[in-house]
Structure 1
Amino acid sequence: MTTKTAVMSFCRLLIGLALVLPSIVNGYKLRYHDESFTPDVVLRVTESSISRACSTRYSVLINGTAPGPEIRLRQGRTYWIRVYNDMETQNLTMHWHGLSMAASPFSDGSPQASQWPIAPQYFFDYELHPDVGDAGTYFYHSHIGFQAMSASGPLIIEDDDPPYQYDEERIVHLSDLFLKTDEEIETGLTTPPYVWSGETNNVLVNGQGLPLNTGARDGDNECSLATILVEPEKVYRLRFIGATALSFVSLAFQGHNNLSIIEVDGDYTQPLEVDYLQIGPGQRFSVLMRTKRREELEEDRANGINQYFLQIETRERPISVRSYAVLIYPGGSYNVSTAPANPPITLPSTALGWLDYELRPLTPNNFPTLAEVTRRVTVTITQIVNNTMVTFLQNGFPWTESFPPMPYLVALYNEEMSLFPSYESAVNNGGMDNRTRTFPAKLGEVLEIVIQMTGQGNGILNVHPFHAHGSHFYDIGSGNGTYDLVQNEERLKGTEPVRRDTTMLYRYTRSGIAGATLGWRAWRLRVTNAGVWLAHCHILQHMMMGMQTVWVFGDRNDVLRLGYPAVKGYLSYGGEAYGNSSRWPTCVHYWDDDDD
């Protein structure tokens, strides 16, 4: 080795050590994620044709599949998940639906709020730290356009000591199948003239299903119903994940109506017996189901029943779609290539306000009383229909990919202080700062948030599953017309509202009457997690049509608590926090257990 070569090698070594060794920046560590850094999970996102339900569609896939692989993490630990955008032209983010990213603000995966998207052929390392108490059922999904229709997967936070006993568990991941491409749907919804996506072509279970029409197979593609394998005389935890793009569904098992809800949206509940579920996009439920005794199975088989169907039906759409999966016991014959000619179950119509005042937390959850509420904010949802477009507004404004021109948190860190909302203006304006189209709140406040549906002309009304990033809220119910504080307080007497992250704004009439209030959903929220957080309808089409907004929790020092040098790599598209084939990323480590 020559002297010159040795000197250059030594210099590179010094530079590498300087980057690898942690730099303390406002209590956080800045680290270089080179070849010595090993992420806990790797997700590679691609796009290609895939066959599902005997139909071929060009789709966004995670590790080559739809849904993506199941991820299991433990609460109270730090994980790094590396997400590669292996697509040629599309941007990407990944959102960890239901988990708070309060300590890792650039890891929330919302491109309109928290981070620049991952550019094609780049990758991004997400830091996740599920808190103790987060054990439950979640999922991850892209937050770009219509990608989440196929780009999603189960995310389970495991409990060290589950409060309920069961033998095994099964995941039931529900997703829609649209035969139009993502690009066709996005263009129709966001570019004049407006073209609706159409209704879902199928509701899939764990990515599987049969064509809804007999013989409607795409070429020689084979397909089958999803199977849920169980054994007799056992208790199963069934984790239902509502990863649908549009479909609000009702479902039940043939011959098994002994379901007990024990968890909703990542929070344990007191057991509540039900015989069916209603699940909207973004919602999750865990239920316990005791399987049949051997004697019951023998009796059913003597009567010609060898398998039991999970029956799924969409609700609140112009066309109802029915699909199935199969519950299978060992020893019986079964057929997964044919759906029943006649539905084995009669599922009920939509139950408006289903379980709103019936669910109870398993343990006390610090629910804020009315006396603790410091401020009430009403978010008024309006649908605007004109000759060329259909748009959703919150308090008179939409939030789309064209507003703001960069992720909101990035804009604030880039010293665009003119974009920081005025708390005083918002308070004087019912909660929204019109200049920034955001809803600010101070840490320590207790908000009562009312999402109020209103009519506009002849617009067709829909159900809206509203999801909040950043923290769980306490759901305090829903109803028709205008929110009535006194009346709802009467309803709340004797109840213990549970914490949720996605709840349903129902429709009580089919079409809008201009200016009329046509239903509400209300939450209470303790403002504790500083940051910039999206709140939006989780129907993908509605999000693209403007039904989302941003909440800013905390003052400037709270929100921008990291110094500029630490976050510099996050503040530009393709910045140093994003890696590619020729560059390792430099990342902020927010948690101190990353060497464990």
Structure 2
Amino acid sequence: MHVLQTLFQLAFGSIVAARGLQVHDSSFVPDAVLVITEGAPKQPCVPAKNILLVNGTSPGPELRFKEGQTIWIRVHNDVHNQNLTIHWHGLTQAAAPFSDGTPAASQWPIPPNHYFDYELAVPQGVAGTYFYHSHVGLQAISCTGPLVIEDYRHPPYRYDDEKHIFLTEVFPNTEEEIEEALLAVPMAYEKDQSMILINGKAGGTDNGVLCNESLPVINVQRGKKYRFRIIAGTGLSFDIFAIEGHDGFDVIEADGAYTEKLHTSFMQVAPGQRFSVLFQALHNPAKNYYYLQLENREFGDVTRTYAIINYGDPAPGLFEPTPNPPPPKSSITEFYPPSTPPLVLPPMDYHFLEYQLRPYRKGKHLAKSERMPTAKEVTRRVNITVQLTGPPDGEFVYLENNYTWNEDFPKKPYLVTLYENDVSQFPSMERAIANDGLDPVTRTYPMQIGEVIEVVIQNSGSTGGGMESHPWHFHGAHVFDMGAGDGIYDCNANEKKWAAQKGKPVKRDTVMLYRYEHPQVPTGHLAGWRTVRLRITEPGVWMVHCHILPHMIWGMQTVFVMGSYSDVITADRPDVEGYLNYGGSVMGNATHEPEVVSFFTAWADNQK
């Protein structure tokens, strides 16, 4: 893991002077402040242990901004022995590539007792549901929180209020212990999540063992319509949930893009995915509260957790503003898991919402930038074949086109080397075309401005014969989800399938590469694909990776380099100032005033 060196700071400081860029000093006031510390709070269902906290909690506080703004967020690393970054998951940082928060790709990680000023240039048209998390090691397990981009004017759907369903996990060991064991030779960690948290709380069962903790509460009022913002901030589990006594949800947003309304009786989310759904509260509920029941799929033993949909007296909870005035203490009820599950949830649905969603149409037509590229428009296909090597006795390594990638591979972050005029680190298109799109020297995928790329991610059998599912997350640009299937991708067959469906490809940033029903397949056998298309319009250096955290640290990640060398190092990028601040002001004492953290209380006032 990289540590910022004084020589690098001085060298990069000379670039600041050469370009005449202003460095943020002590007079600069950011729009928001996140202070990352380490502590051992009581977590549901696991013994107390050290985790990362954001402004004193995990998950951290909600951040909420309007589209069309440029925001500066100062992130303090007050963890004495760990580097970290913050990634703004789902926001395409094309106008601020240094602020994407990816170590070894866009920035050096923030060393202890230093801070970094992140720029979020949020254009109009990206209103939706996001979250933030560290992108170093397994820190995203606890160092995370919700991020909402509000509509500049009004959302296209009417509702009375909105609520979070923010999913995270707790594990029996610390993140550092898990990472060390996962990277050991032979691999030495076989445990899964102890519980899946909903808005930071949980109670339920793990492999049949009861965890009788107080449940999270989502307060609703009779007859009102709610927007539930569902955020899968998980790092391992695929989760399915439904609500007893209610007929389901209407999906209206997927990964920060509005969709045409689509009804579903249950929701299924994979790590990194987000949805907004409309939830109709009952006009005449038969009782004061109902259970939201959630279960994991795919990995590990069955973990079942619950939340409360509360029609009675309001009860406080994370991401729920305290009622004003608060009800008497005697009326605030603690809720606990039921003795038997009220629902029977379905098995993993390998076709959930596929070929059914449609992008939301503003008027009669989609904006040109929102139109899916046709097969005739595609200028090049990039194939990414993934395979797990090493088990059962060796090191676990994931390969993409026979090459792996991790934080230690590049000696400097790619974007830094390019700004230092190190042309040797820029990928070769010639080498890439000869290797299914991957340049094996830099281990990156180069793409030129103006290209229309079809990316086919192909699953294959591991050296042990197993198969797993993978949520692939794209930084830098949302992609058109062209669907998925078992076996090997056939473009003509997939085009015919779309022609026969009611749905149309929607833009996503986290898409599923499934294993389907393959517990064992021959080594290298191709079984399962996911295809996306994207127009290359903005230069940058962007991570693309599986959002299952163990898979990511085992190497299931790579980098897309969009644009030519001159495109990428354009000097007038507005965020360069903020990045070069990292080589300047952070060399001083990174102290901060505690009262600035009170910024985060403002969001609660807006919800009253």
TM-score of Structure 1 vs Structure 2, range by shorter chain: 0.7 to 0.9
Moved more, 563-572 or 274-283: 563-572
1:163 is matched with 156
Contact 2:260 2:357 (C-alpha < 8 Å) held by counterparts:
yes
Contact 2:541 2:562 (C-alpha < 8 Å) held by counterparts:
yes
Aligned partner of 1:361 among 355, 359, 362? 359
Aligned partner of 1:178 among 147, 171, 180? 171
Aligned partner of 1:80 among 47, 69, 72? 72
CA separation of 1:54/1:452 partners in 2, compared to 1, >3 Å: closer, same or farther?
Answer: closer
1:190 is matched with 183
1:463 is matched with 469
Task: Name the SS for the 2:360 alignment partner.
Answer: coil
1:6 is matched with none
The residue identity in structure 2 corresponding to 1:507 is R
Q: TM-score, normalised by structure 2?
A: 0.86
Q: Does 1:226 align with 2:231?
A: no
Task: Name the SS for the 2:188 alignment partner.
Answer: coil
Question: CA separation in 2, counterparts of 1:533 and 1:215?
Answer: 42
2:345 is matched with 347
Task: Name the SS for the 1:489 alignment partner.
Answer: helix
Q: Does 1:496 align with 2:478?
A: no
Task: Name the SS for the 2:424 alignment partner.
Answer: helix
Task: Name the SS for the 1:523 alignment partner.
Answer: strand
1:137 is matched with 129
Aligned partner of 2:252 among 254, 262, 270? 262
Shift, 1:566, TM fit: 9.8
2:375 is matched with 370
Shift, 1:270, TM fit: 0.2
Question: CA separation in 2, counterparts of 1:372 and 1:251?
Answer: 39
The residue identity in structure 1 corresponding to 2:483 is G
The residue identity in structure 2 corresponding to 1:110 is T
Aligned-pair Cα RMSD in Å: 2.5
The residue identity in structure 2 corresponding to 1:346 is V
Shift, 1:408, TM fit: 1.4
Question: CA separation in 2, counterparts of 1:577 and 1:547?
Answer: 34
Question: CA separation in 2, counterparts of 1:293 and 1:337?
Answer: 22
**Deviation sequence 1:327-375 (CA, Å, 0-9, x none):** 0002599964421121111111111121110000012221111110001
Contact 2:113 2:590 (C-alpha < 8 Å) held by counterparts:
no
Question: CA separation in 2, counterparts of 1:516 and 1:281?
Answer: 25
Question: CA separation in 1, counterparts of 2:588 and 2:307?
Answer: 41
Question: CA separation in 1, counterparts of 2:309 and 2:430?
Answer: 56
Task: Name the SS for the 1:541 alignment partner.
Answer: helix
The residue identity in structure 1 corresponding to 2:241 is L
Question: CA separation in 1, counterparts of 2:165 and 2:377?
Answer: 39
Moved more, 458-467 or 233-242: 458-467
2:40 is matched with 49
Shift, 1:210, TM fit: 2.2
CA separation of 1:344/1:334 partners in 2, compared to 1, >3 Å: closer, same or farther?
Answer: farther
1:273 is matched with 263
Question: CA separation in 2, counterparts of 1:48 and 1:71?
Answer: 22
Aligned partner of 2:420 among 407, 414, 419? 414
2:433 is matched with 427
Shift, 1:211, TM fit: 5.8
1:524 is matched with 533
The residue identity in structure 2 corresponding to 1:246 is L
The residue identity in structure 1 corresponding to 2:27 is S
CA separation of 1:518/1:215 partners in 2, compared to 1, >3 Å: closer, same or farther?
Answer: closer
Shift, 1:32, TM fit: 3.0
Task: Name the SS for the 1:96 alignment partner.
Answer: strand
Q: Does 1:328 align with 2:310?
A: yes
Q: Does 1:115 align with 2:124?
A: no
Aligned partner of 1:542 among 531, 546, 551? 551
Q: Does 1:581 align with 2:589?
A: yes
CA separation of 1:211/1:34 partners in 2, compared to 1, >3 Å: closer, same or farther?
Answer: same
Question: CA separation in 1, counterparts of 2:482 and 2:575?
Answer: 40
Q: Give the alignment of 1:58-97 within 5 angstroms.
A: 58-97=50-89
CA separation of 1:140/1:564 partners in 2, compared to 1, >3 Å: closer, same or farther?
Answer: closer
Task: Name the SS for the 2:182 alignment partner.
Answer: helix
The residue identity in structure 2 corresponding to 1:203 is I
Shift, 1:146, TM fit: 0.7
The residue identity in structure 1 corresponding to 2:81 is T
1:485 is matched with 491
**Deviation sequence 1:416-474 (CA, Å, 0-9, x none):** 21111011221122111111111000011111100000113324321100000001000
Q: TM-score, normalised by structure 1?
A: 0.88
Contact 1:383 1:459 (C-alpha < 8 Å) held by counterparts:
no
1:559 is matched with 568
Q: Does 1:146 align with 2:138?
A: yes
**Deviation sequence 1:379-422 (CA, Å, 0-9, x none):** 00011024231110000011112201221111222232111101
Contact 2:45 2:194 (C-alpha < 8 Å) held by counterparts:
no
The residue identity in structure 2 corresponding to 1:51 is K
Shift, 1:30, TM fit: 2.9
CA separation of 1:346/1:568 partners in 2, compared to 1, >3 Å: closer, same or farther?
Answer: closer
Aligned partner of 1:385 among 376, 386, 390? 390
**Deviation sequence 1:113-149 (CA, Å, 0-9, x none):** 1000101000000011111001000000000111100
CA separation of 1:63/1:582 partners in 2, compared to 1, >3 Å: closer, same or farther?
Answer: closer
CA separation of 1:124/1:227 partners in 2, compared to 1, >3 Å: closer, same or farther?
Answer: same
2:523 is matched with 514
Question: CA separation in 2, counterparts of 1:279 and 1:564?
Answer: 35
**Deviation sequence 1:233-287 (CA, Å, 0-9, x none):** 1000000000001011111111112310000000000000011011000000000
CA separation of 1:366/1:235 partners in 2, compared to 1, >3 Å: closer, same or farther?
Answer: same
Contact 1:414 1:571 (C-alpha < 8 Å) held by counterparts:
no
Shift, 1:111, TM fit: 0.3
Question: CA separation in 2, counterparts of 1:453 and 1:291?
Answer: 41
The residue identity in structure 2 corresponding to 1:179 is P
